[in-house]
Amino acid sequence: MASETRLPQLPKNYTEPSPKRIRVLFAGQYIVDTTQAKLVWFKPYYPYYCFPASDLSSDILEESFSNDDCIVYNIVIENRRAESAVTKYLTGDLEGLVNIEFGAADAWFEEDEQIFVHPKDPYKRVDVLQSSRHIRITLSGIELASTHRPKLLFETSLPVRTYIPKTDCHLDLLVPSQTTTQCPYKGVANYYNVKLPDGSVFEDVVWWYRTPLAEVVDVKGLVAFYDEKVDVWVDGVKQEKPKSRG
């Protein structure tokens, strides 16, 4: 399913206030606890949190380097350090704000709910719909799956993803992979490699969610194939492969 929606791109450093209480945990203490957070789109596809500089104690900051536009700090609490984890902006629309590298903290919370990977984009929507289309997946001419009961996951600005019951897949061709990834909208994904009868192996072609987040609970236990890596047939028509988001 190669359909893809493009959203108007937000301008770089587009900023808007967040109505949520945001807390950032590091070394056993909340180094930020604020209701004054701002969402900032440094990149087109998702926002980051920034905070007034006054929300982060200077006692835990050690200057790493600086230039005319910003000062970069290490976070230091007793024997814990996070190098170059905090940026304080000195000019432009972000003047007076600080940003903490998401992965440098031990945990982030929106209200009392932990978030992962990066803040959710308030302009992104994820929907899962039951379908009766005939979906067939092949790789190098070998059928991997065929179903009339797929669930289609529509995620703003991304290709439609097809989730298929495992009982409609050739599970003998799927080999568990050690790879896992996290998505702030869907949860932790596990992967399968595909091993074809001729012994050739294609790594991490398939993913699935054992315990997806509540918004997409309907894909629990179903598998999705990277349309970019396989051939997809919908009601007998071969689909074009999705283009890389770039």
CATH of the domain at 78: 2.170.150.40
Distance CA 184, CA 170 (A): 29
Q: What is the pLDDT of residue 72?
A: 98
Q: What is the pLDDT of residue 45?
A: 81
Q: Averaged over 76-85, what is the pLDDT? A: 96
Q: What is the pLDDT of residue 242?
A: 80
Domain of 81 in residue numbering reads as 14-115
Residues 134 and 231 grouped into a single domain: yes
pLDDT of 85 > 50? The answer is yes
Residues 27 and 103 grouped into a single domain: yes
Which of 61, 85, 115 is the last residue before a domain boundary? 115
* Residue 47 lies inside a defined structural domain of this protein: yes
pLDDT band per the 50, 70, 90 thresholds, residue 8: low
Q: What is the pLDDT of residue 19?
A: 94
Query: Is the alpha carbon torsion for 136, 140, 141, 143 positive or negative?
Result: negative
pLDDT of 5 > 90? The answer is no
Distance CA 6, CA 157 (A): 5
The amino acid present at 172, given as its one-letter code, is: D
Q: Concatenated DSSP letters for 132-195?
A: ---EEEEETTEEEEEES--EEEEETTS--EEEE-GGGB-GGGEEEEEEEEEETTTEEEEEEEEE
Contacts of 33 (CB under 8 A, 6+ apart): 21, 22, 23, 24, 55
* Residue 53 lies inside a defined structural domain of this protein: yes
Q: What is the pLDDT of residue 157?
A: 83
If we measure between CA atoms, which residue out of 209, 244, 204 comes closest to residue 226?
Answer: 204
CA-CA-CA-CA dihedral for 219, 241, 157, 35, to nearest 10: 60
- Count of domains for the chain: 2
Q: In this structure, are residues 241 and 2 in contact, taking their beta carbons and an 8 Å threshold?
A: yes
* Residue 9 lies inside a defined structural domain of this protein: no
Rg (alpha carbons) of the chain, rounded to whole number? 22
pLDDT band per the 50, 70, 90 thresholds, residue 102: very high
Distance CA 177, CA 192 (A): 5
* Residue 29 lies inside a defined structural domain of this protein: yes
Q: In this structure, are residues 161 and 128 in contact, taking their beta carbons and an 8 Å threshold?
A: no
Which of 71, 91, 115 is the last residue before a domain boundary? 115
